[in-house]
Amino acid sequence: MKALVTGITGQDGYYLSKFLIDKGYEVHGTIRRASTFNTSRIDPLIAKYEGTKKLNLYYSDLIDSSSLNQLVSLIEPDEIYNLAAQSHVAVSFKNPAYTSQAALGTLNLLESVKNSKKNIKFYQASSSEMYGGAKKEKLDENSLFDPKSPYAASKLFAHNMNKIYRESYGLFCVNGILFNHESPLRGETFVTRKISRAVGRIKNNIQKSLLLGNLDASRDWGFAGDYVEGMWLMMQHKDPDDWVLSTGETHTVEEFVNIAFSSVDLDWKEYVETDDKFLRPNEVNYLLGDSTKAQSILKWKPKVSFKQLVEMMVEEDCKLAEQEKILIEKNLLDITWN
Ligand code: NAP
Ligand code: GDD
């Protein structure tokens, strides 16, 4: 089996590629050309599989339809996992057009799938952000979408196009509506990783405080490693469909902070301050998912609890901070955090 993974250098790109390679897949992934190295998450896979058929990397960008078209023709994958996106909600308010181009990129990719002679299955990384989170309710595949950011609107466009291509052309188009999922590989500007990074550094006396925005926002946070298995299960189901993946629990940012600091015996109130610069023009206040459909039909289950997730992230970031501390003491690193 051959899979094409766009956004392979991201958090989910790493976990999914590892999962697929372990299942015997040949993985083909797209990376963006950057002036610095941007493959750190997948470096362990590159080290292990470079030069073998298991891992193949190509420069591409979701906004370059001709490169994606060429890749689909060249690789003729059995499955495409479209993970690439400017995925930061706050950034999408600053870069709305760029963020939205990823949605058009998805449409171009769907065209390539439609024009291919091969029956290619297509997975779209849809998001719980599309719901808008205005009401305190459990959200499933039938809940209404009410996007509150350019990011959410662009995801909804791609989601709808994917459904339209499924219904109009009989393509195997799957939408995975995933609630927030995190890991030690989460981007450092997302709130969970920002917190765990800070806790590691504060514990090691190389950071003094942590500035956050809205502490009352509530999210249904799961572990990314569990969620990539769900993506694959959706693609193995006999019919293409829309599926929610979530834990069924929601927690505030403040609860995340509290557990993260407590896990290393610190009182968060001594270190955390709020700053309006981290507030968004429009906030998604409350997200809670109902993944009954995926759990009963696909037999998917989130395995890592909220507390385990927080502790796993803090533990890994304490190790990183210990290394940073050594470099600072040897004058090999000159940086201060908050
Ligand atoms: P991530 O860590 O931000 O990774 C995004 C990936 O997309 C990176 O490889 C990035 O490349 C790439 N990318 C960004 N813009 C691109 C473009 N124009 N063309 C090609 N590649 C581009 O995100 P993630 O957490 O792994 O999430 C994966 C997907 O699931 C995203 O589409 C995200 O919106 C969606 N999603 C995530 C969550 C979540 O909680 N994690 C929940 C629901 C949906 P660089 O490494 O070079 O930046
Ligand atoms: N990033 C960030 N930084 N968020 C903060 C901060 C801060 O300093 N302080 C409070 N928050 C709040 C945000 O306002 C938001 O309500 C919540 O923490 C979570 O923010 P993020 O971690 O940035 O994630 P997100 O929920 O906006 O988006 C993530 O989940 C979506 C799925 O619902 C991203 O991964 C999206 O790509 C994904 O689709």
Ligand 1 atom showing the smallest separation from residue 102 Cα:
18
* Together in a domain, 200 and 132: no
- Ligand 2 pocket member 315 (CB < 6 A): no
Whether ligand 2 lies within 6 angstroms of the CB of 92 is answered as: no
Q: What is the pLDDT along the chain (338 residues), one digit of tens a residue?
A: 999 999 999 999 999 999 999 999 999 999 999 999 899 999 999 999 988 999 999 999 999 999 999 999 999 999 999 999 999 999 999 999 999 999 999 999 999 999 999 999 999 999 999 999 999 999 999 999 999 999 999 999 999 999 999 999 999 999 999 999 999 999 999 999 999 999 999 999 999 999 999 999 999 999 999 999 999 999 999 999 999 999 999 999 999 999 999 999 999 999 999 999 999 999 999 999 999 999 999 999 999 999 999 999 999 999 999 999 999 999 888 887 76
Q: Whose CA is nearest to atom 21 of ligand 2?
A: 190
Count of structural domains, the chain: 2
Nearest-CA residue for atom 13 of ligand 2: 214
The pLDDT, as a whole number, for residue 3 is 98
Give burial (CB, 10 Å; 0-12/13-18/19+) of 214. Answer: middle
The residue segments making up the domain with residue 126 are 2-182+221-245
**Is there a domain that residue 298 lies in?**
no
Around Cβ 278, how many Cβ atoms within 10 Å?
14
Whether 151 is catalytic is yes
Same domain, 9 and 156: yes
What span, in angstroms and rounded, lies between the C-alpha atoms of 316 and 226? 18
Residues 139 and 277 in one domain: no
DSSP, residue by residue, 93-159: HHSHHHHHHHHHHHHHHHHHHHH-SS--EEEEEEEGGGG---SS--B-TTSPP---SHHHHHHHHHH
Task: Give Cα 17 to chain centroid, integer Å.
Answer: 13
Same domain flag for 210 and 317? yes
Question: Does residue 195 line the site of ligand 2, with CB under 6 A?
Answer: no
Give the number of the atom of ligand 2 that is nearest the alpha carbon of residue 85.
Answer: 37
| Residue 241 included in any domain | yes
Specify whether 225 is located in the same domain as 315: no
Is the distance from the beta carbon of residue 245 to the nearest atom of ligand 2 less than 6 Å? Answer: no
Residue 336 is predicted with a pLDDT of 76
Q: What is the dihedral of CA 163, 169, 173, 175, to 10 degrees?
A: 0
User: What CATH number should be reported for the domain holding residue 260?
Assistant: 3.90.25.10
Per annotation, catalytic residue among 92, 100, 126, 127: 127
Kindly state whether residue 272 falls inside one of the protein's structural domains.
Answer: yes
Instruction: Tell me: do 200 and 63 sit in the same domain.
Output: no
**Residues 167, 35 share a domain:** yes
The CA 150 to ligand 2 mean position distance, Å, reads 14
Claim to verify: residue 111 and residue 23 sit in the same structural domain? yes
CATH of the domain at 122: 3.40.50.720
Q: Answer whether residue 293 is part of any domain.
A: no
Ligand nearest to the Cα of 60, by number: 1
129 is an active site residue: yes
Residues 155 and 209 in one domain: no
- For residue 282, how far is its CA from the centre of ligand 2 (angstroms)? 12
Q: Does residue 232 share a domain with residue 258?
A: no
Distance 153 CA to ligand 2 centre (A): 16
Inside any domain, residue 256: yes
Q: Do residue 68 and residue 128 come from a single domain? A: yes
Q: Which pLDDT score is estimated for 214?
A: 98
